[in-house]
Amino acid sequence: MGVIEGEKDKVLIIGATGYLGRRLVKASMDLGHPTFVLYRPEVASDAEKVQMLIGFKMQGATLLQGSLDDHNSLVTALRQVDVVVSAVAGNHLRHAVLEQLKLIEAIKEVGTIKRFLPSEFGMDVDRMEHAIPPGAYVFTDKRVIRRAIEKANIPYTYISANCCAGYFLAALAQLGHFMPPTDHALIYGDGDKKCIWVDEDDMATYAMMAVDDPRALNKTLYLRPRGNILTQMEVVHTWEKIIGKELKKTFVSQDEWLGSIDKVAPPLQIGVAHLYQIFYHGDLEFEVEGPHGVDSNDLYPNYKYVTAEEYLKRFA
Amino acid sequence: MGVIEGEKDKVLIIGATGYLGRRLVKASMDLGHPTFVLYRPEVASDAEKVQMLIGFKMQGATLLQGSLDDHNSLVTALRQVDVVVSAVAGNHLRHAVLEQLKLIEAIKEVGTIKRFLPSEFGMDVDRMEHAIPPGAYVFTDKRVIRRAIEKANIPYTYISANCCAGYFLAALAQLGHFMPPTDHALIYGDGDKKCIWVDEDDMATYAMMAVDDPRALNKTLYLRPRGNILTQMEVVHTWEKIIGKELKKTFVSQDEWLGSIDKVAPPLQIGVAHLYQIFYHGDLEFEVEGPHGVDSNDLYPNYKYVTAEEYLKRFA
């Protein structure tokens, strides 16, 4: 299969062709893990995904046909690996997260999985009980998964990855846009709430560094690249400095922002709600607490993450 | 911009984030062409395409904002380059091909473009006047573009790339599937018409080798990797040899196949019609004729293309 067998844990990735999944596959292989990818038979009707899978294989991954709906396929796959990392769809497919309950059943049955990373990669869902709809349901679903993992005594790491750079930083948190504006930006409130902006490739690398790290066993690992804990206004100023131009700014009050939620399409409503949590309610403004929380800065202080400035410079 | 300026022609790619476009960008850079990519402002709302564009830029391409609907943006872009390669959508967006008439106007106005490769990359459309609907319209539209190019005296190369491996070879030409079957295959007629199966990365490399090749000036370049001129049955046997198993085969008569056209969704109807042309009507069974046709085997006899067997082995 082209996999170099070493002492590294064997990793199974679920949701490998997705936005984060493909990065997890790459990070897993880059870190030397024998890497296995579960793919659904239905993927055969999607030429792009098939080619991505074949690309993984050509780089050394092992493809395993299976599905969360096919218990035997899961058991067969799980018997070949040590670690399971799931990146099933979160926000975009309602209740896809809950499909992982089937995976948990199979992991319990097999009994040899040394670490399970469920699909998280966002805010710390156990701190989001107060979240408003429709942004709340993904937190709710992920909490259901956490409790099921703990009840089954499955060794886990929860990756609280905070805010995907491509979705938040790339457009200075302008909803529905993914390139930085050069004229005008909406500023949420006073733009003074701290957010944590994390490059997706870094998310994947942190996650894969954690899979066999005993310090992350049964913990929530918070990805908090120290230089990337910045307010929206600090990010906007960084971009203004890069392009040598000041943006016009419209300051949006909390009431205006929450009032906009009914005026956008349902998928964007989730975005409005999540931006509210971060930029008005300040839900990323907390310090990591032990004993169940660990900070990526403490575990991997020498990891060279992509800084917000480096990321934005790519667009200039 | 990270572009290494050399003596190589500067290339502008249109449709760069598409299925072939992204490969053309890579091939252009791999062959040392300073490479420019036109992107529409609307792409900012598509996170995946934005990230692809930024990926091109990080590898050395220059991004130019513009659109076929914005004449000034085209003129500005064209003034910076020597060669234009278009990969606008063909089959899937009706009449997207005709949008290139706007590009031709701009190329005419600028007057300095040394070579234009319009969006072709399929069958030789001048041999397809007899094609049946709805597969015919894409041939018709591409013929309109050819005639407009010739009328404007724009130096051109038409790349007749034949059949994309990912769409045809990957599933042994099973409609709507892109992985090879392991149990059963439909065989069109007796499976004895010659088809030409070409890896998409090879298509892109051939095209980019031709952009500054005087032997391809004002010619149709036929991509005909000699070992990949194979009937469907030969391809099926290649796969059977790889997996060590004989597939069950259902032989579909021409009447049955044509009768199925009304029973599938409109996008697939185009596929049914094109498969008819190739596998029943035998439209790829011809020899390249001069003076306007050139054969990739004659121009690039030493190029190491991906063979059908190598391609299929990736799936085993």
Least confident of A29-43, B8-22, B68-82, B85-99: B85-99
At B93 the pLDDT is 66
| pLDDT tops 90 at residue B40 | yes
| pLDDT tops 70 at residue B280 | yes
Kindly state the tokens that stand for A239: 């971009």
For residue A56, give the chain B residue with the closest CA: B314
| pLDDT tops 70 at residue B3 | no
Cβ contact B238:B312 at 8 Å:
yes
At A89 the pLDDT is 87
- The rounded distance, in Å, linking the Cα atoms of A297 and A304 is 11
At B183 the pLDDT is 98
Mean per-residue pLDDT for B178-201? 98
Q: What is the separation, in whole angstroms, between the first and last Cα of chain A?
A: 41
Cα angle A119, A123, A126 (rounded to 5 degrees) comes to 85
For residue A179, give the chain B residue with the closest CA: B44
CA dihedral B287, B290, B24, B268 (to 10 degrees): -40
Collect all residues of chain B within an 8 Å Cβ-Cβ radius of residue A166.
47, 50-51
Residues in chain A: 316
Indicate the pTM of the whole model: 0.94
Q: How many residue contacts between A and B have a Cβ separation below 8 Å?
A: 50
Nearest neighbour of A166 by CB, restricted to B51, B166, B170:
B51
8 Å CB contact of A178 and B46 = yes
Rounded to the nearest angstrom, the minimum Cα separation between A218 and chain B is 33
Question: For chain B, which residues lie within 8 Å of any Cβ of chain A, measuring from their own Cβ?
Answer: 19, 43-48, 50-51, 54, 57-58, 166-167, 170-171, 176-179, 314-315
Cα angle B7, B201, A41 (rounded to 5 degrees) comes to 155
8 Å CB contact of B44 and A179 = yes
Nearest neighbour of B47 by CB, restricted to A47, A58, A178:
A178
Mean per-residue pLDDT for A93-103? 89
For residue B200, give the chain A residue with the closest CA: A51
Collect all residues of chain B within an 8 Å Cβ-Cβ radius of residue A163.
none
- The rounded distance, in Å, linking the Cα atoms of A164 and A272 is 15
pLDDT 10s digits, B95-121? 789 999 999 999 999 999 999 999 999
8 Å CB contact of A47 and B176 = no
Pick the catalytic residue from B10, B26, B142, B219: B142
Backbone angles phi, psi at A97, to 5 degrees: -55, -40
Q: What is the CA radius of gyration of chain A?
A: 20
Backbone angles phi, psi at B265, to 5 degrees: -65, 150
At A2 the pLDDT is 40
Rounded to the nearest angstrom, the minimum Cα separation between B60 and chain A is 11
Active site residue A313: no
Nearest neighbour of A179 by CB, restricted to B50, B170, B314:
B50
Cβ contact A118:A145 at 8 Å:
yes
Nearest neighbour of B45 by CB, restricted to A19, A48, A177:
A177
8 Å CB contact of B166 and A57 = no
8 Å CB contact of B177 and A48 = no
At B2 the pLDDT is 40
Cβ contact A284:A162 at 8 Å:
yes
Mutation target vs A (from B1, B23, B42, B178; most A CBs, 10 A cutoff)? B178
HEC profile for chain A?
CCCCCCCCCCEEEECCCCCCHHHHHHHHHHCCCCEEEEECHHHHHCHHHHHHHHHHHHCCCEEEECCCCCHHHHHHHHCCCCEEEECCCCCCCCCCHHHHHHHHHHHHHHCCCCEEECCCCCCCHHHCCCCCCCCHHHHHHHHHHHHHHHHCCCCEEEEECCEEHHHHHCCCCCCCCCCCCCCEEEEECCCCCEEEEECHHHHHHHHHHHCCCHHHCCEEEECCCHHHEEEHHHHHHHHHHHHCCCCEEEEECHHHHHHCHHHCCHHHHHHHHHHHHHHCCCCCCCCCCCCCEEEHHHHCCCCCCCCHHHHHHCCC
Q: What is the CA radius of gyration of chain B?
A: 20
Kindly state the tokens that stand for A175: 């909803």
Cα dihedral sign for A150, A270, A124, A224? positive
Collect all residues of chain B within an 8 Å Cβ-Cβ radius of residue A179.
43-44, 50
- The rounded distance, in Å, linking the Cα atoms of A224 and B232 is 55
Bridge partners (DSSP) listed for residue B222: B160, B295
The one-character DSSP state at B251 is E
What one-letter code names the amino acid at A64? Answer: L
For residue B175, give the chain A residue with the closest CA: A45
Cβ contact B170:A47 at 8 Å:
yes
For residue B57, give the chain A residue with the closest CA: A314
Cβ contact A169:A163 at 8 Å:
yes
- The rounded distance, in Å, linking the Cα atoms of A28 and A35 is 6
Mutation target vs A (from B48, B179, B312; most A CBs, 10 A cutoff)? B179
| pLDDT tops 50 at residue A1 | no
Kindly state the tokens that stand for B141: 């539209």
Closest among A149, A165, A169, A148 to A157, alpha carbons compared? A149
Pick the catalytic residue from A10, A26, A142, A219: A142
pLDDT 10s digits, B56-89? 999 999 999 999 999 999 999 999 999 999 999 8
For residue B58, give the chain A residue with the closest CA: A314
- The rounded distance, in Å, linking the Cα atoms of B97 and A114 is 53
List Cβ neighbours of B117 (8 Å cut-off, separation of 6 or more).
B83, B84, B85, B86, B156, B157, B158, B159, B207, B210, B211
| pLDDT tops 90 at residue A175 | yes
Percent of chain A with pLDDT strictly greater than 90: 94
Rounded to the nearest angstrom, the minimum Cα separation between A133 and chain B is 24
The rounded mean pLDDT for chain B is 96
User: A4, exposed or middle or buried, with CB in 10 Å at 0-12, 13-18, 19+?
Assistant: exposed
At A165 the pLDDT is 98
Mean per-residue pLDDT for A260-284? 95
Cβ contact A10:A191 at 8 Å:
no
Residues in chain B: 316
Closest among B40, B14, B262 to B121, alpha carbons compared? B14
At A20 the pLDDT is 97
Bridge partners (DSSP) listed for residue B103: none
What one-letter code names the amino acid at B29? Answer: M
8 Å CB contact of A19 and B48 = yes
Rounded to the nearest angstrom, the minimum Cα separation between A219 and chain B is 31
For residue B166, give the chain A residue with the closest CA: A47
pLDDT 10s digits, B137-162? 999 999 999 999 999 999 999 999 99
| pLDDT tops 70 at residue B92 | no
CA distances to A20, A280, A296, A303 from A226, in Å: 22, 21, 9, 11
8 Å CB contact of B44 and A167 = no
Which three-class secondary structure state does DSSP give residue B186? strand
8 Å CB contact of B179 and A57 = no
The rounded mean pLDDT for chain A is 96
Task: Grade residue B131 by pLDDT with cuts at 50, 70 and 90.
Answer: very high
Collect all residues of chain A within an 8 Å Cβ-Cβ radius of residue B51.
166, 178
| pLDDT tops 60 at residue A239 | yes
Would you tell me how many other CB atoms lie within 10 Å of the CB of residue B75? 15
What one-letter code names the amino acid at A305? Answer: Y
Backbone angles phi, psi at B156, to 5 degrees: -140, 160
Cβ contact B286:B224 at 8 Å:
no
Place of tokens 């997207």: B96
